[in-house]
Structure 1
Amino acid sequence: MRLFLSASLFLPLALVSVPGVAHAVGPESGCVASDGRSFPLSTRIHGGPSSYEAGGGYGTWYLELTNNTGATCENVHPVVVLVDDRRVLRSSQPRLEFYTGAQTRPVRFETTDQDELVGAFDGFPGFTVGPQKTVTVKVRLAVTSDAAPNRVTANAAVVQRHDDDGDWVGQSNDYRFGIDSEPEATTGTADPDPGRSTAPRLPFAEELARTGTSAAAIAATLAALLTGGGALLLLRRRR
């Protein structure tokens, strides 16, 4: 189980009581893995450059969502987390956009108290992934000129939104890249090994392993991001 968000960010949300939204969880949708353990959506980041020039152009990469179930998964929203080694990357410095057809949509990052950057693919109804189908989301990233040389790990969690609740339905591999003062690459490079990461484990993953924190609290953070903090949705981990 991996989701790279700060524990201190989501724990307060888990304690919030919001009038009118507390209710028993209803019947589950069909977007659930048949074995009851795996995520229904296999999620993979691939094709990104190994480094970005601070103040340079966009580099392109892809977020692949594969539905392993026999049902359609609708209202799917990825949430990208960026963790830099030096903990100096500010939320205004990465310029991340994703495509819905020919249109690009910006991702707004928030900073956690452990200096992790978290941004939801929001402002649209979400992606729809048919049964046993794959949707590939084109993403582009640039970094502003004031960003310091650094190494960054990107990861994506995936949430399926409903009217007043939702499910955590996917988790990607790590995408590791550098921020340089000199240009290296602004187009895609060979797909890194998705099963192996050379980056150190991130604070949130360590916290999960140490405390066994509930997945409901994790998902609550994603819900708050996807609603702009205006309401706390009830989410379930769809495993």
Structure 2
Amino acid sequence: MRLCTPASLFLAVVAAVLPTAAQAQAEAPPPACATEDDSDFPLTARIHGGPDTYTAGGGYGTWDLQLTNTTDRSCVGIHPVVVLVDDKRELRASQTVLEFYAPDREQPHPVRFETTDEDELVGAFADERTGFEGFTVEAGRALTVKVRLAFTSDAVAGEVVAKAAVVQRHEDDGDWVGQSDDYRFRIEPGPGTEAGDAGPDELARTGTGTGGQLLTVAAVALLAGGLAGVPARTRR
């Protein structure tokens, strides 16, 4: 299967969800979801139900990420990774507030975004603080993950495309096991503000308050630095 996402972005995705070397040695690796005989991704992914527009500084828009296991094998340790690309390449990680819900927890998990060299925002569904170990998608079954997204009041108006890559964490490696369709939407300026102007409201103040709850910037940088020796695998 040919992937349209650059290999450099895949490396950033893997870096965002892989554990440290110490964790990898301590944890038993999950069985592989993908096999060498698979010609397609073992998981299909679809984003649906999201709004067409978001207001900068406004409330959350909710949508679903549906993961379907097309194999006869259970897929565990599954981490979706949302990639956001805006037309101006000006959207910043600090302006984006994304949370997801796990089946065993009422409160949402926050997602921390990192910026790639191509000014894409990459956010992994991984929460080290609460010990979230990824989703399990049973053989032949579908799992729907509720997601909510908002933008702070200083976010620049424009068109945005969201896509979800799906990674299975596997020791100090990761398998790319799925990729969603595109979800296109527009960010509109908030009331009383011009596109790109900051307006001090509650969302603007709280949008960057989840920093310590996921992988820290330093941890991601450390993992990314060690990727030279990581045999990241993609489906072709």
Same fold (TM over 0.5): yes
Moved more, 54-63 or 109-118: 109-118
CA offsets per residue over residues 91-133 of structure 1, 9 Å max, x none? 1111000011322011111111221111111111000000000
Structure-2 residue corresponding to 1:189: none
Structure-to-structure mapping, 1:138-217, within 5 angstroms: 138-182=146-190
| Distance 1:66-1:53 versus aligned 2 partners, 3 A rule | same
CA 6–29 in structure 1, closer or farther in 2 if over 3 Å, else same = closer
Equivalent position amino acid for 1:41 in 2: L
Whether contact under 8 Å (1:4, 1:81) holds in the other structure is no
| Residue type of the alignment partner of 2:189 | S
Distance 2:234 2:111 in 1: 24
Task: Quote how far apart the aligned CAs of 1:228 are.
Answer: 2.3
State the partner residue of 1:236: 233
The two structures, once aligned, show a CA RMSD in angstroms of: 3.2
Paired residues in the alignment total: 188
Q: Is 1:118 aligned with 2:147? A: no
CA distance in 2, matches of 1:36, 1:110: 31
Alpha-carbon contact 2:97-2:149 (below 8 Å) kept: yes
The superposition leaves residues 146-204 of structure 1 with CA deviations (integer Å, 9 ceiling, x where unpaired) of 01111000001000012222211000000000000258xxxxxxxxxxxxxxxxxxxxx
The structure carrying a bigger helix percent of its residues is: 2
Superposition TM-score, scaled by structure 2 size: 0.70
- Give percent identity, aligned residues only: 57
Q: CA deviation at 1:6?
A: 7.4
- Alpha carbons of 1:121 and 1:5: their partners in 2 closer, same or farther (altered >3 Å)? farther
Equivalent residue letter for 1:172: S
Which residue matches 2:5? 4
Unaligned segments of structure 1, at least 5 residues: 21-27, 184-224
1:36 to partner: Cα distance: 1.8
Please tell me the residue identity of whatever aligns with 1:103.
Answer: Q
Paired AA for residue 2 in structure 1: L
Closer, same or farther in 2 for the Cα pair 1:165/1:6, shift >3 Å? closer
* Deviation digits for residues 47-105 of structure 1 (CA, Å, limit 9, x no counterpart): 00000000000000011100001010000001110000011111111100001132201
Amino acid at match of 1:105: H
Question: Aligned in 2, Cα 1:238/1:6: closer, same or farther, shift over 3 Å?
Answer: closer
Task: Please give the secondary structure, in 2, of the residue aligned with 1:236.
Answer: coil
Deviation readout 1:12-49 (Å, 9 max, x if unpaired):
x99xxxx99xxxxxxx9452379621100001111000
Give the structure 1 partner of residue 108 of structure 2.
Answer: 104
Specify every segment of 5 or more residues in structure 2 that has no aligned partner in the other structure, as ranges.
16-20, 23-29, 192-216
Secondary structure in 2 matching 1:103: coil
Q: Distance in 1 between matches of 2:69 and 2:10?
A: 30
Name the CA shift for 1:8/1:177 in 2 (closer, same or farther; >3 Å).
Answer: closer
Q: Is the 8 A contact 2:32 2:170 kept in 1?
A: no
TM-score computed with the length of structure 1 as normaliser: 0.69
Task: Work out whether residues 9 and 113 of structure 1, in 8 Å CA contact, stay in contact via their aligned partners in 2.
Answer: no
